[in-house]
Amino acid sequence: MPIHEKNLIRPENLSKHDELVIEGVNVSGDWSTFIKSRVVSDYNEDLQEEIAALAGGEYIHRCWQCGSCTNSCTVNALNPDFNPRQWIYLVRMGFEAELIRDRDIIWQCVSCHKCTSACPRDVVPEAVMHAIGHWLEHKGYTPKRPSTVFDEVFSEQVIHTGKIEDGAVLLGFFLRTKQSLTQSWLVQMVKQLVLKFPVQMLMQMGWATVFHPKTSNWGSSRRAIEEFLQEKEAAVEKKLGPEQPYHEPDVPTNSVDAMKMAAE
Ligand code: SF4
Ligand code: SF4
């Protein structure tokens, strides 16, 4: 089992001497490892409340740092820098700059749900990872991620029509993320659909993608959902301030390519 606490100490904060003898005892190399002292003065005392205001972050206060989430995490097995427990710790301590350093890694969560199953305190760490990701976006520390765009396209369709039409969601996602509709894998997938799906079902999918049918009498449900979402957005803005455009933070990133590490 990896020692997760090691992640709390940045490599640049460790120092050791190749040759060191103290009072006749040779403490060269790892034996002379010191952790440099540091002063943290830029706490964000509201950080936990800001994360808790976002969907999925509500139960972060329950965490007792047992580490079960990290030990069970699919991505941590590939990339030890992906550490849900550590990020929850940073949020609860208000270490905002430390959290921002990992802005490119937090998004690697694959939503496998293992951490949530393992958590003895019902923190729902998977949802906390998404809340932290949305906090980074809201503050402008990361550009809007494709997964957020997908969520938006999906939600907009459900709210607008009361239905989920896979073809329309995919088309909307590709158009909004400016992705080519002629990518080879996509062309291949459509070919397989045409070959294997019954003609009637394909016609229904095509018709729904173009005309966006609605659930009958959906209007009052749509208005209720929109009202609820407006209240939630107002509460988030009250806590976090207005959404900021993307700007590169002053803090350097600890970005690590998990897939590259897995291949090594
Ligand atoms: S498993 Fe739950 S309680 Fe344990 S560290 Fe993770 S979030 Fe906290
Ligand atoms: S849901 Fe995300 S954080 Fe949780 S175990 Fe899976 S990859 Fe890790």
Q: Letter for the amino acid at 58?
A: E
- Residue holding tokens 């509460």? 235
Tokens of 146: 């494709």
Predicted confidence at residue 105, as pLDDT, reads: 92
For ligand 2, whether the C-beta of 129 sits within 6 Å is yes
For ligand 2, whether the C-beta of 126 sits within 6 Å is yes
User: In the 8-state DSSP scheme, what is residue 141?
Assistant: S
83 close to 106: Cβ distance less than 8 angstroms: no
What are φ and ψ of residue 197, in 5° steps?
Answer: -85, 145
Q: Which ligand is nearest to the CA of 69?
A: 1
Atom in ligand 2 nearest the alpha carbon of residue 113: 1
Atom in ligand 1 nearest the alpha carbon of residue 66: 4
Longest CA pairwise span in the chain (Å): 86
Protein residue whose Cα sits closest to atom 4 of ligand 1:
66
Q: What's the whole-model pTM score?
A: 0.81
A 10 A CB-CB count for 97 gives: 14
Predicted confidence at residue 206, as pLDDT, reads: 78
Tell me the sheet residues that pair with 14: 35
pLDDT along the chain (264 residues), means of 10: 60 86 90 83 92 96 95 94 93 92 91 96 97 96 92 93 86 91 88 84 76 84 95 95 92 62 46
> All domains of the chain, ordered by start, with CATH?
6-35 (no CATH), 47-143 (1.10.1060), 150-236 (no CATH)
Q: Give the contacts of 77 (CB within 8 A, at least 6 positions apart).
A: none
Q: Taking CB atoms and a 6 Å cutoff, what residues make up the pocket around ligand 1? A: 63-69, 85, 88, 118-121, 123, 125
108 close to 82: Cβ distance less than 8 angstroms: yes
Protein residue whose Cα sits closest to atom 5 of ligand 1:
65
Q: Ligand 1 pocket: which of 5, 51, 59, 64 to mutate (most atoms <8 Å of CB)?
A: 64
- Euclidean distance between CA atoms 30 and 206, whole angstroms: 65
Q: What separation in Å is there between the alpha carbon of 4 and the centre of ligand 1?
A: 13
Total number of residues shown for the chain: 264
User: In the 8-state DSSP scheme, what is residue 240?
Assistant: H
Q: Which ligand is nearest to the CA of 62?
A: 1
Predicted confidence at residue 67, as pLDDT, reads: 93
